[in-house]
Amino acid sequence: MYIVQSYPLAILFCFITMLCWGSWGNTQKLAGKTWRYELFYWDYVIGILLFSLVWALTVGSCGTEGRKFLPDLAQASWGNIGSAFVGGVVFNAANILLSAAIAVAGMAVAFPVGIGLALVLGVLINYIGSAKGDPVLLFGGVALVIVAIVLNGIAYKMISRGNRSAASSRGIVLALLAGLLMSFFYRFVAASMDLDNFVTPAAGKMTPYSAMVVFAVGIFLSTFIFNSIAMKRPVSGTPVSISAYFKGGFPIHLVGVLGGVIWGLGNALNLIAAGKAGAAISYGLGQGATLVAALWGVFVWKEFRGGGRRVDWLLGWMFALFVAGIGLIIAAGN
């Protein structure tokens, strides 16, 4: 299997993760013009599962180092398989709650509250589980990224003040629950792997490739529960039946699968980078995706058009703090 051998390459992979996790939402935005997000979500999850299997059977099964995918999965203990599977279930619940929070309260509340909380708690949880990196630099960088996320939220509120009603308390609660769950999923997956030695991992532990597949299976199977509930009791709009999914054409389904592949690529690179960068640094850089999403919103979707000088000032500081925070997180691992 392919193994990352240097810290700079691990950081590069984490940056790609950030881009992928912050960009897959563009596919939902494209599909959302004619397609409910609950229907999009089925294809998105299928995309994650298909990519994980192909990645493990190719990249995870080539070369001479480490255990190949199928032998590695066969020797994994049920405890570690269960840990990665639970990580997928937890992530899926968080992701659907975050989507619901966006529908109720909008991006201005859902992302700063949900992903901001996930970033803070997630780095702390993963650092406690695998203490790697300078804690002062690491948490200093996280603090700067959090301030940047807050500025992002303020800018969203200002630009949408005349178009959206105030966020409901229900939306805030949904975002908080999403952030709380999102902060735990990575620890479950990391615990199923031997982060100190991907070349000859401990017996019963999995390589990132096997853990990724089990994680994706957890997402896929739990979707039948979580998304079915979301379809029957949507936070906005009328209930939608599963029959509506089969009325969509091939192009609209392909958009959803593409979204899952993009997110899956980011997840795959993040997991194989964790061996060199550490779980806390990998997770922290990956969750910087919120700012990547803001870049798409500013420069491609023009979501901040006409915001005025104050919004431009907030966006400038947001990007500056984000870059500074990422720099500290990277320095924490040197």
Per-residue pLDDT of the chain (334 residues; tens, 9 = 90+): 999 999 999 999 999 999 999 888 888 888 887 888 899 999 999 999 999 999 999 999 998 888 999 999 999 999 999 999 999 999 999 999 987 777 676 665 676 678 778 888 888 898 998 888 899 999 999 899 888 888 877 887 787 665 555 545 677 788 889 989 999 999 999 999 999 999 889 999 999 999 999 999 999 999 999 999 999 998 878 999 999 999 999 999 999 999 999 999 999 999 999 999 988 899 988 888 877 877 787 787 776 777 788 988 998 998 899 889 888 988 898 6
Nearest to 155 by CA among 106, 119, 103: 106
pTM: 0.90
**Whole-number Å distance between alpha carbons of 23 and 19:** 6
Contact in structure between 276 and 6 (CB atoms under 8 Å): yes
Phi and psi at residue 25, in whole multiples of 5°? -60, -20
Number of neighbours of residue 236 by Cβ within 10 angstroms: 10
Residue type, 301: W
Residue with tokens 């999850």: 45
pLDDT score at 160: 63
Chain centroid to Cα 1, Å, comes to 24
Planar angle of CA 288, 289, 294, nearest 5 degrees? 105
Q: CB-side exposure of 225: number of CA atoms within 13 Å?
A: 8
